[in-house]
Structure 1
Amino acid sequence: MARIYFKCVPFSKEQVTLALESGVDGVIVPRDTVESVAHLSRCPVLAAEDVPSVSLNEKADEEAVLQRLRNGESVALARGWEIIPVENLLAQSDNVLAEAGSLDEARLAAGILERGVDGIVVLPEAVSDLKAIVAQCKVAQAQEHLQEAVITRVEPVGLGHRVCADTISLLRRGQGMLVGNSSAFTFLVHAETEHNEYVAARPFRVNAGAVHAYARLPHDRTCYLGEFRAGQEVLIVDADGSTSVATLGRVKIEVRPMLLVEAEVRAPEGVSKGAVFLQNAETIRLTAPGGVPVSVVDLKPGDVVLCRTDEAGRHFGMRIREDIREV
């Protein structure tokens, strides 16, 4: 996920204010304005003189930039960069910044090598696109491939500690988090966007499941629900597979009656099976195709819900290749 900087040269207080309200990670301004801008927000303010713009016109320019990056300098690839030289730099450095003068250029920079540059420096000519750039290059994540899974078992299992993940964002119908007993099989647990006669909707919340369950995070990582902490970024997934990032504002762990839900995905290459423990309450829902929320109290064998399958094997949340079986 690229960091987004706004380069405000020549300086404009109105543009800097708009950039900060748009959610950029930092601003780049003339050195003599750094101190005054630093009082506007708790956000990195860099002097433009310390982040020079450099052009890549030939192979020697690429090599010179790489050497400067290895020396700890900050430079931004001038607008007009081409993909191949940027790929070469990304393969050898973790601090590649690239200028963008439009939403399309920012999207391109964010997608190089399926990883993107480490920072996008948005130029003043793209100030009107700032909110879209932040939304699509910072908040948005890679597409998830969701599959239809058939419920095979729903059974009460007594009491357990469940985790409510309260984000600082308002989620919408069809959105939730991928949670499961195994990182190889996760269920799209729906956010609490639905009203009923007893409980008001809480569209910021995903009642995600038992403390031991895996949750899928940004950047192909996982963690246990019991490890969730306020301020942590989590992955929000839509029924169509599109994703975004939200920040946890609060985590509630309480003892509640639980259900064991099991399902399987049938594919030509075989059958994948998975399970999840969810609170036994009407407000907890899985997600059916089309983004339809289905309450766990109405769930029955034969129902179809959305899941994600993967290879098993994680160590401290990072993907590993190992002979491992989770049941």
Structure 2
Amino acid sequence: MLRDQNIIVAPTEADPTFLQNIHELGIGVVFTDTDSTFDLPLDIIRPSGDSTYVWQGSDQERVGRRYHILSNTDIQLMLHDASGGLDFVIADVDDWKIIPLENTIAKLHDVDTKILVVARTADEVRKMFSILDIGVDGVILETDSIQEVSDAVSLQNQSSFEMTAARVTAVREVGDGERVCVDTASILHMGEGLLVGNRSNFLFLIHNESVGSSFTSPRPFRVNAGAVHCYTPSPDGTTKYLSEIESGSEVVIVTKSGASRRAIAGRSKIERRPMLLIAAATTSESGGIIAQNAETIRFVRPDGELVSVTHLKEGDKIMVHATPAAGRHFGMRVESEYILEK
């Protein structure tokens, strides 16, 4: 019935065109007072009287209740009812949203009852899914806007990057240049980093600085990413130049397997440093990156081991994200445009 972290759409009325459009966006559940989905494969959550709601799907019906959360008393009532066997609860909060939902999740996360919450915008949907780093099980988005639904789906989806091993073809000093350190507002883990490159279709996995040494302390929030001109992906599918990253910018944190998550840049530091050019190639694409010449800049080998840029040599294999070349217009990919980058 309920997958983890569903987006559920609650339109004003069940218009067949609107339902078809949200179904094509991947929505599988609608919140409505009708029992018709116009032959579309959609689950329905509908009222059945006295604050009770029924979830109708391909499996058995589930029963839940809706609660207007104004105080901890309402949360206690919801917990009491959930413990009595409700399949799901719907929390509707007003001005105070985060603290009431944190309290709700903290109290109900061990109970076998799904937590749904009402939202009015795509930004609220995203926020609800990250509360207490656990999030709710589903968000009911009250909207008649296809764009709002599309934005919510886009914000929720986690991109996956196809990663491959590339052979290093050149490592050489190129003099001084401005490099960018991206200090995120997140703790980055072993194996995570940013995708960065001179070309938007050939991006190197640059590891974070969670690995310290006898000369440096770990900085697990930082990626010494590369020169100011380099590209890095944004969560919306566009690219940014590293020079554009600033406090509040969103960046994409990636692992060697291609899994990704969003992070916020707390700041970026641009400083003049000695630089290296690293070039590499796969069987079909080639590219390069200009990065600082320092031991703390590390690439990732196919086996997950890290290799410092200062120890990198021709013939080494490192992880990259490589795709066929395409043009870019203000960060947006343009498939049919001819482009040659050197």
1:183 aligns with 2:200: yes
Aligned mates of 2:305, 2:36 — CA distance in 1: 44
Q: Could you tell me which residue of structure 2 aligns to residue 19 of structure 1?
A: none
Aligned mates of 1:290, 1:81 — CA distance in 2: 52
Q: Could you tell me which residue of structure 1 aligns to residue 275 of structure 2?
A: 258
Deviation at 1:126, TM superposition (A): 2.7
The equivalent position to 1:272 in structure 2, one of 261, 277, 285, is 285
Q: Could you tell me which residue of structure 1 aligns to residue 239 of structure 2?
A: 222
Q: Could you tell me which residue of structure 1 aligns to residue 331 of structure 2?
A: 317
Does the 8 Å contact 1:173/1:291 carry over to 2? no
Q: Which has the higher contact order (CA 8 A, sep 6+)?
A: 1
Does the 8 Å contact 1:180/1:213 carry over to 2? yes
Per-residue CA deviations over 1:17-44 (Å, capped at 9, x if unaligned) read: xxxxxxxxxxxxxxxxxxxxxxxxxxxx
Amino acid at match of 1:154: V
Q: Could you tell me which residue of structure 2 aligns to residue 147 of structure 1?
A: 164
Per-residue CA deviations over 1:121-180 (Å, capped at 9, x if unaligned) read: x94453398644579985661211001000011111110000000000000111111110
Aligned mates of 2:255, 2:329 — CA distance in 1: 26
Amino acid at match of 2:244: E
Q: CA RMSD in A?
A: 3.6
Aligned mates of 2:163, 2:259 — CA distance in 1: 10
The equivalent position to 1:161 in structure 2, one of 164, 178, 192, is 178
Q: Could you tell me which residue of structure 2 aligns to residue 27 of structure 1?
A: none
Aligned mates of 2:36, 2:341 — CA distance in 1: 46
Deviation at 1:289, TM superposition (A): 1.3
Structure 1 segments of 4 or more deviating over 3 A?
Answer: 4-7, 51-56, 63-67, 79-87, 122-125, 128-140
The alignment of Structure 1 onto Structure 2 pairs a total of residues equal to 233
1:194 aligns with 2:211: yes
- Residues 259, 309 of structure 1: CA spacing in aligned structure 2 closer, same or farther, 3 A cutoff? same
Deviation at 1:184, TM superposition (A): 1.3
Spell out the pairing of 1:203-222 with structure 2 (5 A cutoff).
Answer: 203-222=220-239
Q: Could you tell me which residue of structure 2 aligns to residue 71 of structure 1?
A: none
- Residues 243, 139 of structure 1: CA spacing in aligned structure 2 closer, same or farther, 3 A cutoff? farther
Deviation at 1:291, TM superposition (A): 2.7
Q: Could you tell me which residue of structure 2 aligns to residue 77 of structure 1?
A: 30
Spell out the pairing of 1:1-327 with structure 2 (5 A cutoff).
Answer: 56=14, 61-63=15-17, 77-78=30-31, 123-124=90-91, 126-127=114-115, 131-133=133-135, 141-266=158-283, 271-310=284-323, 311-321=325-335, 322-327=337-342
Per-residue CA deviations over 1:83-126 (Å, capped at 9, x if unaligned) read: 98599xxxxxxxxxxxxx8xxxxxxxxxxxxxxxxxxxx94453
Gaps of 5+ in 2: 22-28, 43-54, 56-88, 92-112, 117-128, 139-152
Report the TM-score, using the length of structure 1 for normalisation. Answer: 0.63
Aligned mates of 2:265, 2:213 — CA distance in 1: 25
